[in-house]
Structure 1
Amino acid sequence: MKDVYLFSGFLGSGKTSLLTDTIRQLKEKGLKPAVLMNELGKLPFDSQAIEEDIPLKEMLEGCICCSGSEKTEAQLQTLLTGENFDVLIIETTGAAHPVEALDAVYSPLFANQLNVKGIVTVVDSMRWLDRHLLPPQMRSLFLEQIRHAHLLLANKMDLLSEAQQAKVTFELQSFNPTATLIQTSHAKCPLSILESLAGTVSDKDVNKARVGQELALSTRLVSFKESVDQETFEEWLRTLPSTIYRMKGYVPIKGIKNPMLFQYSYGMVQWLPEYVKMEPTIVIIGEQLAHLNIPGSE
């Protein structure tokens, strides 16, 4: 499986600095990185920071989440089939919501090839202190990027006084108590900290997970052992908490030849017939996933 990191954060927070420094550390360790970048303009300015020998896919004029996940799936499929690499880094735009970005990355077609280590959010510490000055919509996204992170980099610490540094650190840790937090300048983060992340709940670990130790936002890949009754499955869906954001994949339904293409988003369900026999698996994105009992997967 390929390890995947999602780099999140507002424009100007230091994501590209983190990206270039992480690439340097991976190469020093003998690992080959690949990069999927998406930017809001037509000119790929940030990609000029990536060296020529690193596989790179770009999505211009839009972000991973709003360009449609099909484009992202196609880019990832091309990388997985056509390039040799060890670690994939996805740099989202400053306008990308973490849940949408994760959703675009995960396709049941290749979910078993990817191990999402986590969402790394770079926080401009001065912007955090001045967050009340942001327009409401921007402030909401800024906070969501921080709330769903597995690792927070409180960046640009060198520009703050000691009192401000302490305030930022305390407030960020209080706002997202499940994330690891480190103070950084120029977004320099040791590779060992990135490698210690674990943003995917594997079904092998499900029984061992204890309440209170689960990550804020995680993903889980579920394989079906038997076909399920569609009505029973939909009844189960209606019992799900609001912290289950997305599901997609192929569900084997009793009486139907091929597993059906299934999508779930914030309580809305869509079923589509599939004319090719696909692997009966779904990807779930949300919080507190380890204790979900999925019909047909036991």
Structure 2
Amino acid sequence: MIDVYLLSGFLGSGKTSLLMNLISELKEIGRKPAVLMNEFGSISIDSDTVGQSQDVPLKELLNGCICCSGSEKTEAQLQGLLEEHDVDVILIETTGAAHPVEALDAVYSPLFAEKLRVKGIVTVADTKRWLERDKMSPQIRSLFMEQIRHAHIILANKTDLLTEGELATVSMELSNFNNTAPVIQTTKAQLSFSFIEETLGNIQNDEVKTVISGKHLPLTSKLLTFEKAVDKEEFEMWVRSLPDTVYRMKGYVPLKGAKNPYLFQYAYGMVNWMPEYVKMEARLVIIGEGVSQLKYQ
């Protein structure tokens, strides 16, 4: 039996950071991990990053959620991982717009009944976003809460952005909201695989419920491309001018004076730049509500 772990959480919460941490630890202890990633939209930014830096078998799903509407594609990608590679653990990172129970429903296929053992759902919760969840639209807030409600382990992530009082409030509220999942305070989604493995038990089939699909959410994505390098300060000024309904940006931005485009990530008002040592295609994915009209200069 191959163990399957589902990584859930809202856009920009830190799921990919958790995934990278877990892959590194699994390889260090001699395990053979494989990854199934779901990207929001048609561009594989996170998949490219994981695939290049971690050297693990990886399959991706684009344009939607791992859910009822995409279950056939999910089955095909899982089948590919099992047939093409020698693996003993599969990590599935859902898109930030996916309901975790729906994703589990797709994994519970008769094709894999004797091959896969679903261990549970690890949800990464952005603690700052939790404190200001009332600013989200009702439908998006509902998804954000559902991802936490169905978790078997909750990472209260980005704790370095909170005061001690705020952190105590978030931890207590998360515990009360989902009183069956341990709440682990983390920075940069640092949590050991051994803790997850010891904590999670098998999920029974009767836990899978019918839910509203993430595809009905008013989230859209917009792809920006760059014809020339941009000024970093001017670009960040533009980012700060965007509406609150922009939840996530990720991609590669060409900067003046830099040889290669930088990996750029944005979530909930916070920006992060990382240099790349290979030349990546300059493109940026914006995810949010009503983002189709957005453009840079």
Q: Could you say which TM-score interval applies, normalised by the shorter chain?
A: 0.5 to 0.7
- 5 Å-filtered alignment, 1:249-260, equals none
* Residue aligning to 2:50: 50
CA distance in 2, matches of 1:155, 1:56: 25
CA distance in 2, matches of 1:197, 1:65: 26
- 5 Å-filtered alignment, 1:33-182, equals 33-52=33-52, 53-65=55-67, 67-182=69-184
Gaps of 5+ in 1: 201-217, 222-242, 247-264, 267-298
CA distance in 2, matches of 1:96, 1:2: 23
* Residue aligning to 1:219: 204
> Larger radius of gyration, structure 1 or 2?
1
What are the superposed Cα offsets for residues 262-292 of structure 1, whole Å, 9 maximum, x if unpaired?
xxx89xxxxxxxxxxxxxxxxxxxxxxxxxx
What are the superposed Cα offsets for residues 160-185 of structure 1, whole Å, 9 maximum, x if unpaired?
00000100000000000100110000
Q: Report the 3-state secondary structure (helix = DSSP H, G, I; strand = E; otherwise coil) of the residue aligned with 2:114.
A: helix
The structure with the largest helix share of the pair is 2
Q: What is the letter of the counterpart of residue 12 of structure 1?
A: G
Task: Work out whether 1:245 is the aligned partner of 2:209.
Answer: yes
CA distance in 1, matches of 2:72, 2:119: 22
CA distance in 2, matches of 1:220, 1:31: 26
CA distance in 2, matches of 1:245, 1:199: 18
TM-score, scaled to structure 1: 0.67
Distance 1:65 1:244, change over 3 A: closer
TM-score, scaled to structure 2: 0.67
What are the superposed Cα offsets for residues 211-244 of structure 1, whole Å, 9 maximum, x if unpaired?
xxxxxxx3338xxxxxxxxxxxxxxxxxxxxx76
- State percent identity of aligned pairs: 62
Shift of 1:44: 0.7
Q: Which of 191, 194, 198 is equivalent to 1:192?
A: 194
Contact 1:7 1:120 in 2 (8 A): yes
Q: What is the letter of the counterpart of residue 27 of structure 1?
A: K
CA distance in 2, matches of 1:91, 1:5: 9
CA distance in 1, matches of 2:82, 2:208: 28
Which portions of structure 1, spanning 4 or more consecutive aligned residues, are displaced by more than 4 angstroms?
A: none
Distance 1:168 1:7, change over 3 A: same
Shift of 1:114: 1.1
What are the superposed Cα offsets for residues 30-85 of structure 1, whole Å, 9 maximum, x if unpaired?
11110000111222110122245311101111121164211101111111122111
Distance 1:36 1:102, change over 3 A: same
Q: Report the 3-state secondary structure (helix = DSSP H, G, I; strand = E; otherwise coil) of the residue aligned with 1:96.
A: coil
CA distance in 1, matches of 2:174, 2:164: 16
* Residue aligning to 1:23: 23
Contact 1:38 1:91 in 2 (8 A): yes
Distance 1:22 1:127, change over 3 A: same
CA distance in 1, matches of 2:68, 2:104: 12
CA distance in 2, matches of 1:66, 1:175: 27
Q: What is the letter of the counterpart of residue 116 of structure 1?
A: V
Contact 1:65 1:104 in 2 (8 A): yes
CA distance in 1, matches of 2:63, 2:136: 24
* Residue aligning to 1:228: none
CA distance in 2, matches of 1:8, 1:244: 15
Q: RMSD of the TM alignment (CA)?
A: 1.8
Contact 2:105 2:208 in 1 (8 A): no
What are the superposed Cα offsets for residues 84-138 of structure 1, whole Å, 9 maximum, x if unpaired?
1111000000010011100011101212211111100000000000011110000
Distance 1:58 1:244, change over 3 A: closer
